[in-house]
């Protein structure tokens, strides 16, 4: 539902987005992720937003970042917490209105975010 809220129910396509995260995480407290989107980042063609959603954390939306066409590259790097083994989905909204995704499965051996 969080992803539908971001996309407005519009269809998404696989490709152009790469969510880079280790497939096996020993500790879910500070997991590094990097999202890159294939885009020339010009005024006429650029990434407007990048969002990451998770399946099993208490809050399903991890991050939503707004990008500027002034950036040389559509890239976002941060650390997140993961409650348990789950899927993560990165979604990029481009200036033409298209939505692109990449989904990964992450195995977490020591969980975080559990209340």
pTM of the model: 0.90
Tens of pLDDT along 44-73? 999 999 999 998 887 777 899 999 999 999
Q: Given a cut of 70, is residue 5 above it in pLDDT? A: yes
Q: Which residue has the higher pLDDT, 53 or 110?
A: 53
**Rounded CA gap, 7 and 3, in Å?**
6
Place of tokens 């989905």: 89
Tens of pLDDT along 76-104? 999 998 888 999 999 999 999 999 999 99
Longest dimension (CA), the chain: 45
Give the 3-state secondary structure percentages of the chain, helix then strand then coil, rounded to 5.
Answer: 5, 50, 45
């Amino acid at each position: 539902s969080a992803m539908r809220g971001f996309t407005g129910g519009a269809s998404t396509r696989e490709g152009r987005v790469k969510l880079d995260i280790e497939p096996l995480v020993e500790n879910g407290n500070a997991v590094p992720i990097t999202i890159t989107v294939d885009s020339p980042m010009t005024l006429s063609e650029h990434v407007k937003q990048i969002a990451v959603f998770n399946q099993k954390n208490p809050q399903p939306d991890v991050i939503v970042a707004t990008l500027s066409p002034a950036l040389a590259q559509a890239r976002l790097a941060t650390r997140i917490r993961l409650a348990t083994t789950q899927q993560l989905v990165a979604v990029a909204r481009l200036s033409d209105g298209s939505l692109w995704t990449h989904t990964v499965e992450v195995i977490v051996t020591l969980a975080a975010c559990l209340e």
